[in-house]
Structure 1
């Protein structure tokens, strides 16, 4: 039998060499090899013969058989099989090769690309997870697949181990490493964020890595304004798109007279932090001086939220979610918008290509992104002198329109009036001083853990309540605090809850401790509305200066520490002298009703004056320049009373 097998293989080879390909295939089909090595040799020979006779499908099948063997030719045959299957659009067959590619060709970028493309075409891109890191993020078609892979991965907890595995196997895939870093921030996985920081320092690779970093991740990671202003992934995408436009529109001249026509573009006209802040401004806008348009890019279902708006505001909504960018740009042109205000910045659902390429005479960024909106053709950023002092100006391509008191709008109509909740009702212990942290987990870094731990060391009987959406985050935070010597028994973790309950939890704590590179923004505002003092320290960039802006706007500058040591000392002092803290809470409860922070009408008038000053320059033929909006005379009476809230007038 052995001699027959050897002879058959030799006969196949002989027939092939003599040019009798039909006979060679007939002999090959008739053989019954059992030795794996000889089967592989026969399949390799058969694949070559079938390729010569034009049977590409048969050749691919034979080469796949070799790829499954222990033959030295296995990897080369897998490359041949993938090329043949891809050329024939045999996507189902390619999809079945993922594990084999992971085993034999994990670093073969072309082979990986073809198999992942097949999975994408079949709508099964998630199955590419064992090899997705083998794509070359420097090549656009590969990068598009990487972007799509992340976009289709809705299971955050399931995606994380995939990213970890790919980062280990493909340590130089800068795109996936950046994606991993963003999710590590959310999980407070400090080992991964530390590794990312180390890799950023690598000559050559650090620059590549930074180019794939998302804008949001950048401003959470660093408070160096110069570093934050360097192009990151979203900015580079906008610039790339602009370079591909053959004839971009020139800017229109502004209309010489009439009501100022303002279009707000946002994906967040819905239940979202932006509307928690901005809704009352939409209600307070003076329609005798301004024509308001809401270019709504919000997801399906936002109509339910908007149904609570007054008829006037609902009539101003133009739904653009399903419009192409070109169509939105033409709409802005045809409707002669004077000022386009983008409320997204570099966030997930932004339409920054619209902002960049439209011909609006004045283009403004506001509220959605607390940093320079790098790479986008913008004229102004609406800020204030605390979040962007004069030293910030060199890091903004936009001119700064700085509002008095604070840049942040605030809405009372989106909040319930919060009286102090009992400890028992929210699950907090009686008789203990309770610090609170309610910021999103991605804002919590090692600096915050270190300073909060120092506070807890100074106040041994105190506890820290942390708002924490997911168990994995709580687990990582317990480890991080343990490394600082803080027992897990001093930590309380709250899960997500509705807004009213969130405010109630805040109100029952004694003092909220801020995060630092990226402060609480809406969260700090929420805490102050709930009557709880928030302790922060001076920051080095916009995102880390917001709490200072809000605290000064509500008349509590003593809650802004000068540095880290001062932060720890003040926190401990408040805990050791609860009478001082209670006096501060009493001041806050009064100043909420009189100070500028929650005075939406006053804020709106300042914002409108900023718009008018922009338009005055444009109508005078002047280029955009920095603007400092003057403050209106101070109010002498409360603009709001708790009784109004109790009767549903908030």
Structure 2
């Protein structure tokens, strides 16, 4: 007698292989994941989940031919004729298929169909744990796609949704932190943004705090300063780290560095600078906190804030009696265990600025950033003629992440380009893919701009030398350039920036003040346009700046490591004295 599996047995078997596929995915074993899908199809070629697993795994294996074939089979099944009944993993695999090939517009549309399918039945008991993991992946992949496409607002919303979707509290906190970072692309110092940062502390839930004996700490000793970051490597923030590790007053301070990220050749250079180097990569937050506590660090300085792979869960344990955050992030941490936030009188000039920070503002003299590129590169530029002198027209440029470019910014750039013979060079990762370039051109057309005025260049390692093609750089707002502004100035290119209304939106202002270029700071959009146009018309002045700026920057406060650290360390002594007195 031949027994046939019932539909219930078939569903159970399918579910088993689907669960195994998720296990293999978690282990990064994509070939075995794909094999799970084929096991399902061996039983039933009309099984949507089987084709979807094969397609998803093939995307991860970058076998797009197999992925496309599996998706074609999937969407021709009678059971998959409309989005309303479509297989959830199949919708995700379709979006991931486009996203992995950087077909950004189609990927975003497909992810939105996935979310619509999920939202229709969410709360009705339809979706199991596997479905929620698929949606979690959908939100995170969609956020990455949106960010590359310049849709930072959508990226932030999706990442907040990922945080709400998962049940694991650590993942909730991590996604929420990632979303906080993304909010800075469009918001700057709003009440909503501050509330969202405050919510992070309740998600982190670090129940155990390390105890600190204040009486024992009062004894005279060299203060132990710990600097912690995942980015002691080739990273934008690392261009501002060297003074902390290399230029400390060793008579009064002992410097520890805690590296929580992967190592590269730049890490090898940073390792030689502090008195004590701790490689913490791969260790959990509590283990790192325990090491800091055992090292008896007096002041712990977090250099990552809510940036990727950040160290805030470690600071949640309060491994040091005094904790500071700054440099790597432009906003409050929202954590009660972080006592101070590093800033300056330009970024936070008004008493009311304190209201947007859970930390006390620790203001240094001049700029709170010190540009120190020597650890990461050796190139030293001495200046050259402005390109406009030979070209007969002005070449404006912006090498910032395109996600920082708002429609208001595009409108200002359109007005600049219409006022003077000129073009605008945009260089970023969005320009590296055809669909990204089309998104940029379409957005510029939509605000009435002439796309022929734009030159789109892909991201490349030689970006620094390409500043020699640029006459004037145009900064973004509200998310200003940091490293890109410093890079441009060091290559002799003046930068026009728009003054904002919060710490993060005043980065361009504080950098230009420290560089000795206050005349390039603009109070509003009209001033921004007029200054960019006026400077473009003054070719001789522009040429002088191109020759003088590299040396001028090197001699400015912006690159004065010794004075910067003397001020920083005075602030450290002050906050330590405050701690000891309380």
Counterpart of 2:27?
none
Match of 2:192 among 206, 213, 227: 227
Q: Deviations over 1:294-345 (max 9, x none)?
A: 1111204x2x32434584x265211010322222121112111101111111
Task: Return closer, same or farther for 1:596/1:255 CA change in 2, 3 Å cut-off.
Answer: same
Equivalent residue, structure 1, for 2:307? 347
Q: CA deviation at 1:524?
A: 0.8
Q: Does the CA contact (< 8 Å) of 1:356 and 1:377 recur in 2?
A: yes
C-alpha deviation, 1:552, in angstroms: 1.0
Question: 1:421 offset after TM fit, Å?
Answer: 4.8
5+ residue gaps in structure 2? 24-32, 75-94, 120-134, 166-171
CA gap 1:230/1:492 in 2 versus in 1, 3 angstroms: same
Indicate the residue corresponding to 1:493 in structure 2.
Answer: 456
Structure 2 CA distance for partners of 1:97 and 1:383, relative to 1, 3 Å:
farther
Aligned equivalents of 1:400 and 1:268: distance in 2?
23
Secondary structure of residue in 1 paired with 2:196: coil
1:217 to 182, 192, 203: 182
Using the TM superposition, give the Cα deviation of residue 594 of structure 1 relative to its aligned residue in structure 2, in angstroms: 3.8
Provide the aligned length of Structure 1 versus Structure 2. 506
Alignment partners' CA distance in 2, 1:199 and 1:295: 28
**Is it true that 1:440 corresponds to 2:401 in the alignment?**
yes
- Determine the C-alpha separation between the residues in 2 that align with 1:212 and 1:428: 47
Residue 481 of structure 1 and its aligned partner are, at CA, apart by 2.0
1:520 maps to 481
1:557 paired residue number: 518
Contact 2:99 2:107 in 1 (8 A): no
Q: How many angstroms apart in 2 are the aligned matches of 1:602 and 1:90? A: 54
Whether the 8 Å CA contact 1:527–1:534 is kept in 2: the answer is yes
| Contact map agreement 1:422 1:508 (CA 8 A) in 2 | no
* Counterpart mapping for 1:132-281 below 5 A: 155=100, 157=102, 162=107, 164-171=109-116, 172=119, 176-177=138-139, 180-188=142-150, 193=153, 214-231=179-196, 239-242=202-205, 245=207, 247-253=208-214, 255-256=217-218, 257-281=220-244
**Correspondence for 2:383:** 420
SS, match of residue 523 in structure 1? helix
Q: Does 1:537 align with 2:461?
A: no
The 5 A counterparts of 1:622-641 are: none
- Counterparts of 1:582-597 in structure 2, within 5 Å, are 582=543, 584=545, 588=549, 591-597=552-558
TM-score by length of 2: 0.75
Separation in 1, partners of 2:500, 2:436: 25
393, 399, 419: which one aligns with 1:458 = 419
SS of 1:341's equivalent? strand
Alpha carbons of structure 1 residues 224 and 358: separation in structure 2 relative to 1, 3 Å: closer
Deviation at 1:375, TM superposition (A): 3.8
Using the TM superposition, give the Cα deviation of residue 448 of structure 1 relative to its aligned residue in structure 2, in angstroms.
Answer: 1.5
For the residue of structure 1 that corresponds to 2:102, the secondary structure is helix
Contact 2:204 2:316 in 1 (8 A): no
Distance verdict in 2 for CA 1:125–1:437, change over 3 Å: closer
Two-structure CA RMSD over aligned residues (Å): 4.4
Distance verdict in 2 for CA 1:293–1:224, change over 3 Å: closer
* Aligned residues of 2:304 and 2:310 also touching (Cα < 8 A): yes
* In structure 1, C-alpha distance between the alignment counterparts of 2:143 and 2:21, rounded to whole Å: 35
Shift of 1:464: 0.9
Q: In structure 1, what is the equivalent of residue 169 of structure 2? A: none
User: How far, CA to CA, are the matches of 1:294 and 1:195 in structure 2?
Assistant: 33
**Cα pair distance change 1:352/1:224, threshold 3 Å:** closer
Cα distance in 2, alignment partners of residues 584 and 85 from structure 1: 66
User: 1:294 aligned to 231, 235, 257, which one?
Assistant: 257
In the TM superposition, residue 584 of structure 1 has moved relative to its aligned partner by 5.0
Per-residue deviation, 1:368: 0.8
Cα pair 2:156 2:182 within 8 Å, conserved: no
Residues in 1 aligned to 2:303 and 2:159: alpha-carbon distance in whole angstroms? 33
Question: How far did 1:225 drift?
Answer: 2.9
Aligned to 2:131: none
Cα gap change, 1:467 to 1:90, in 2 (>3 Å): closer
Superposition pairs of residues 358-369 of structure 1, within 5 angstroms: 358-369=318-329
Instruction: Give the distance between the partners of 1:478 and 1:279, measured in 2 at CA.
Output: 39
1:378 aligns to 2:378 (yes or no): no
Alpha-carbon contact 2:259-2:281 (below 8 Å) kept: yes
Instruction: Summarize the Cα distance change of 1:124–1:434 in structure 2 as closer, same or farther, 3 Å threshold.
Output: closer
For 1:475, the equivalent position in structure 2 comes to 438
CA distance in 2, matches of 1:330, 1:310: 21
Task: Indicate how the Cα distance of structure 1 residues 125 and 157 shifts in structure 2: closer, same or farther if over 3 A, else same.
Answer: closer
Deviations 1:498-556 (A, max 9, x none): 3xx43332244211111011011111111112222110111122221100001111221
Q: Structure 1 pair 599/219, CA: closer, same or farther in 2 (3 Å)? A: same
Cα distance in structure 2, aligned partners of 1:88 and 1:588: 60
In the TM superposition, what whole-angstrom CA distance separates every residue of 1:218-242 from its partner, at most 9, and x where no partner exists? 111212432222226xx75664342
Change (3 A) 1:199 1:339: closer
CA distance in 2, matches of 1:248, 1:570: 52
Q: Scaled by the length of structure 1, what TM-score is found?
A: 0.68
Give the superposition deviation at 1:266.
0.8
Aligned CA distance change for structure 1 residues 177 and 484 (closer, same or farther; 3 Å): same
Partner of 1:323: 283
Between structure 1 and structure 2, the one with the greater Rg is 1
What does residue 507 of structure 2 align with? 546
Counterpart CA distance in 2 for 1:478 and 1:350 is 34
Partners in 1 of 2:408 and 2:386 — Cα distance?
29
* CA distance in structure 2 between the partners assigned to 1:343 and 1:590 by the alignment: 28
Q: CA deviation at 1:187?
A: 2.1
Contact (CA 8 Å) 1:178, 1:213: kept in 2 or not? no
Rate the CA distance shift 1:455–1:550 in 2: closer, same or farther, 3 A.
Answer: same
Tell me, in whole angstroms, the C-alpha distance in 1 between the residues paired with 2:287 and 2:512.
42
